[in-house]
């Protein structure tokens, strides 16, 4: 995805903001699910957009060693899902809430551990001194969006559901990392929107 007028450092966030704020996010909730939120951080540098993810440490209670977006369960003190995502991102990654340009929500997804996760897309400035919490984060990943959009990055996983049906969902490979489960399903939503924006004719000027 070469940078164009539609996907430049100013134009893409505004295009995403317009798309995300005018739609009603869906959810696939089930009884007993615990609410949680994640931030889907975007950052532009070296002429490319990047998605910021992390590798969970081996000491966290769930999803050990998996690639994830920063986030966690909703706490009573959180004003809402966006506040929850920003608080968790601060605690995990050292990204201050006031430094995030919030663009809007994606559809909520269910995890295999029975969390209903509400994703919020936001832009983090560059450069930024991430300060990951070693108890929760083993590594920070900056994955270029154009590489994730390459069909060669896509994989597919099949999962047997409680009712016996088989659900096939997308996963992604970036370097040595496999992005799967709810993180991949959230990422897929973002990539669909960005892919559509990147196909828009260049209008010039808004890069």
- Any idea where the domains of the chain sit in the sequence? 11-151+180-196
pLDDT at position 94 is: 97
Task: Return the SS3 of 183.
Answer: helix
pLDDT at position 31 is: 77
Match 């559901």 to its residue by tokens: 161
pLDDT at position 164 is: 77
pLDDT at position 203 is: 43
Q: Are 104 and 17 a contacting pair, CB within 8 Å?
A: yes
Separation CA 50–CA 79 (nearest Å): 28
Write out the chain's pLDDT in tens, 207 residues: 555 678 889 999 999 999 999 999 987 767 788 999 999 999 999 999 999 999 998 766 565 669 999 999 999 999 999 999 999 999 999 999 999 999 999 999 988 888 999 999 999 999 999 999 999 999 999 999 999 999 999 998 777 766 778 778 899 999 999 999 999 999 999 999 999 998 866 544 344
* Cβ-based neighbour number of residue 134 at 10 Å: 9
Separation CA 85–CA 106 (nearest Å): 13
- Tell me the fold of 11-151+180-196: Nucleoside Triphosphate Pyrophosphohydrolase (3.90.79)
Separation CA 112–CA 84 (nearest Å): 20
| DSSP helix, strand, coil percent of the chain (3-state; round to 5) | 25, 35, 40
Q: Burial, 37: exposed, middle or buried (Cβ in 10 Å; 0-12, 13-18, 19+)?
A: buried
Q: CA 200 → CA 100, 105, 118, distances in Å?
A: 26, 22, 28
Q: Give helix 181-198 / helix 11-21 axis angle, nearest 10°.
A: 110
Q: Are 6 and 198 a contacting pair, CB within 8 Å?
A: yes
pLDDT at position 61 is: 56
pLDDT at position 143 is: 98
**Ranges assigned E (strand) in the chain:** 34-45, 48-56, 67-68, 71-73, 101-105, 109-110, 115-123, 137-144, 154-160, 166-174, 177-179
């Amino acid at each position: 995805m070469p940078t164009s007028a539609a996907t430049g450092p100013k134009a893409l966030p505004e295009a995403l903001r317009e798309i995300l704020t005018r739609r009603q996010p869906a959810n696939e909730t089930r009884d007993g699910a615990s609410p949680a939120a994640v931030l889907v951080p975007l950052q532009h540098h070296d002429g490319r957009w990047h998605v910021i993810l992390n590798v969970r440490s081996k000491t966290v209670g769930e999803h050990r060693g998996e690639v994830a977006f920063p986030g966690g369960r909703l706490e009573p003190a959180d004003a809402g899902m966006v506040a929850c995502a920003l608080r968790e991102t601060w605690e995990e990654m050292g990204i201050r809430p006031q430094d995030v340009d919030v663009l809007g929500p994606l559809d909520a997804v269910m995890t295999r551990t029975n969390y209903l996760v509400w994703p919020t897309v936001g832009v983090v400035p560059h450069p930024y001194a991430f300060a990951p919490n070693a108890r929760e984060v083993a590594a920070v990943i900056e994955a270029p969006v154009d590489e994730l959009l390459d069909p060669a990055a896509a994989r597919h996983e099949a999962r047997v559901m409680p009712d016996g049906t088989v659900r096939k969902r997308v996963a992604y490979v970036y370097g040595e990392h496999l992005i799967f489960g709810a993180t991949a399903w959230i990422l897929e939503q973002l990539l669909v929107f960005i892919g559509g924006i990147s196909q828009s004719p260049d209008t010039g000027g808004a890069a």
